[in-house]
Structure 1
Amino acid sequence: MSTTFVLVPGAWQGGWVWQPVAERLRAAGHTAITITSPGLAGGDVRSGLHLSDAVEHLIAEIEKRDLRDVVLVAHSWGGYPVTGAAHRVAGRLSGIVLFNAMVPRKGVSVADESDLMGPQLRAAIEATPDGTIPVEPGYLPLLLPESGEELRSFFADLMVPMPGGYFTEALDVADISGLSVPMHYLLSDNDQVLIRPGAEFAARLGLTPQPVGRGSRW
C-alpha cells in the first residue's frame, strides 16, 4: 500500500536533508515530498519571517497538491511547523512521525524551552543585522557525531542562517495529542542537539520513544 510522506527538516536545513530518505521511500513505492520552510533555502530573504510563515507554507504545500492520507514527519525544530499545521490539515492526515523532534507547548517558543539556551539564542539574533541565527561551527559535530569531515563539510555548505522568529515565536495551538491519528516518536541514542531530552518531548504526547539506535537520515 502506497503512503504519502511529507518530510519537514529541522533548523538551518532545507528539504535537501531528507532527500536520502525520500529516495528510499520512493523506491519502495511511496510518495515522498520534502519541505523547505521560507528562509531556509539558499538565496532566500530571511529577515522579517515569522513562525506562522513556516506553518502556512507547510499547509499550502499539502493543500495545493490536494494530498490525502498524509504521514507528516518532523525532525528537531520541524516539530513546530508540523504541530501548527497538523490541526489545520487533520482531515488529510493518516499519521505523524516525530524523529528526535521538539513537541511544542502552546505559547512556548524554542527560546522559552531553555533558561540556558534562550538568552543565547536571543543574543545571537540581536547581533545580526537581519535578525537571524548563524550556524555555529561547533554545531555540526553535535548534529553529525559519527560522520566524517566530508559529510560535515557538505552540510556546512548547504545550511543557512535561521530566521530568528522561528525560535522566538510560539504557537497558539494545543499540542497534537488530541488529534485522532496514529503518532510515533523515534529517538536515536546519539542525539545531542535537542533542547530537551527526547523522552521528555515524547511524554508530552503520552508516547514512549521508539529507539532507532544511531539513527540518521543519511
Structure 2
Amino acid sequence: MADFVLVPGAWLGAWAWDEVADLLEAAGHDVHPVTLTGLAELHRADSAQTPQAQHVADIVGVADKLSDVVIVGHSYSGIPAGQAAAALGDRLRRVVYLDSNIPVDGQSFADGWSPERRAWLAGQLAESGGFWPPLTAEDYAGQDLTDEQIATIVERSTPHPGRAITEPAALPRPITELPTTYVKCLMDGPTPSTPVLQHLESPSWTLAELDTGHWPMFSQPAELAELLISVS
C-alpha cells in the first residue's frame, strides 16, 4: 500500500481532498492531505510573504516521515510538489501532477504567462496586499462542478501568498528522472502545456486523462481515486 501525500492547488487547503482521501483509505492506503503555509486554517494577515520554499518544506516535512510515497500536486502545487519529490530520494514511489504546473528550474509559476496576463497578476497582487485573490463563482463555470460544489469552494477558499507564485523553482535534480504520471483534465484544455509535453518524452513519465474539469477532487472524486491507485 502507498503513502499518499495530497497537495491542493491555489486558494485551497487539505479539506479539498476529503472525499478522495476517504476513498483511498477505504482501499487500504495511508493518506496525508497537506495544507500549505498561509492557506486555509494556516492563513494569516501576513501570509502574503510566504516563500515558495516554505511550501516545498511543508510537503517534505510530511513525506520525510513516510517510506513509500506518492506525492500528488494539483494546479499551482505541482511546482512545490515536484521540488519536494526531487528531494525525497528512494522513498519516492511516484509523483503525480494533477492538471498542474510543473517546476522548471529558475522559473516561477507565472513565468510562462503572456506579458498581459503577468501585468494582470501584478495588479491583483498590488491591490490585495501581496495576495492572489480567490476565484469567483463565475470562474468555475464549465468545469463539471455543481452549484453546491462551487459555493463550497468559493466559501472556503483563502487568498494565496503572492510571493509563492512569483519566486522561481529550485530543483535539486532533474524531474525527468522521477517516476511520474501527468494527469490532464480534458475540460480544462485537451493537451498539456509545452513544458509538460517536453517532459513526457522521458521514459519515466506517463500521461493519463480524466474527462472532467480542473478540480477533479470535487467533480469526480471516485474516478480520481481509482486513477491514483492504478498509477501508483
Shorter-normalised TM range = 0.7 to 0.9
Q: Quickly say closer, same or farther: Cα 1:120–1:9, change in 2 above 3 A.
A: same
TM-superposed deviation, 1:136: 3.1
8 Å Cα contact 2:49/2:164 also seen in 1:
no
Find the counterpart in structure 1 of residue 55 from structure 2.
Answer: 54
Find the counterpart in structure 2 of residue 110 from structure 1.
Answer: 109
8 Å Cα contact 2:80/2:103 also seen in 1:
no
Paired residue secondary structure (1:217): helix
Deviates more, 1:91-100 or 1:155-164: 91-100
The CA distance in 1 between the partners of 2:185 and 2:120, in whole Å, is 26
Find the counterpart in structure 1 of residue 92 from structure 2.
Answer: 93
The 5-angstrom pairing of residues 1-218 of structure 1 reads 2-42=1-41, 44-45=43-44, 46-63=47-64, 66-115=65-114, 116-129=116-129, 131-137=130-136, 138-141=138-141, 145-173=143-171, 175-179=174-178, 182-191=179-188, 198-206=192-200, 207=205, 209-214=207-212, 216-218=216-218
TM-score with structure 2 setting the length: 0.82
The CA distance in 1 between the partners of 2:206 and 2:83, in whole Å, is 22
Paired residue secondary structure (2:217): coil
The CA distance in 1 between the partners of 2:110 and 2:196, in whole Å, is 19
Q: What amino acid is aligned across from residue 106 of structure 1 in structure 2? A: D
Q: Quickly say closer, same or farther: Cα 1:95–1:150, change in 2 above 3 A.
A: same
TM-score with structure 1 setting the length: 0.87
TM-superposed deviation, 1:139: 2.6
TM-superposed deviation, 1:201: 4.1
Structure 1 residue runs of 4+, over 6 Å off? none
Deviates more, 1:93-102 or 1:110-119: 110-119
Deviation per CA, 1:2-34: give whole Å up to 9, x if none. 111111111111111111111100000011110
The CA distance in 1 between the partners of 2:155 and 2:111, in whole Å, is 29
Q: Quickly say closer, same or farther: Cα 1:185–1:120, change in 2 above 3 A.
A: same
Structure with higher helix content: 2
Deviation per CA, 1:80-128: give whole Å up to 9, x if none. 1111211221221011111101112111111211013222111111112
Q: Quickly say closer, same or farther: Cα 1:212–1:102, change in 2 above 3 A.
A: same
Structure 2 gaps of 5+ residues are: 219-232
8 Å Cα contact 2:57/2:84 also seen in 1:
yes
Deviation per CA, 1:119-171: give whole Å up to 9, x if none. 21111111122x101113243326xx222221111111111101001211111
Paired residue secondary structure (2:141): helix
Structure 1 gaps of 5+ residues are: none
Paired residue secondary structure (1:81): helix
Q: Quickly say closer, same or farther: Cα 1:96–1:43, change in 2 above 3 A.
A: closer
Paired residue secondary structure (2:38): coil
TM-superposed deviation, 1:43: 5.6
Q: State how many pairs are aligned.
A: 207
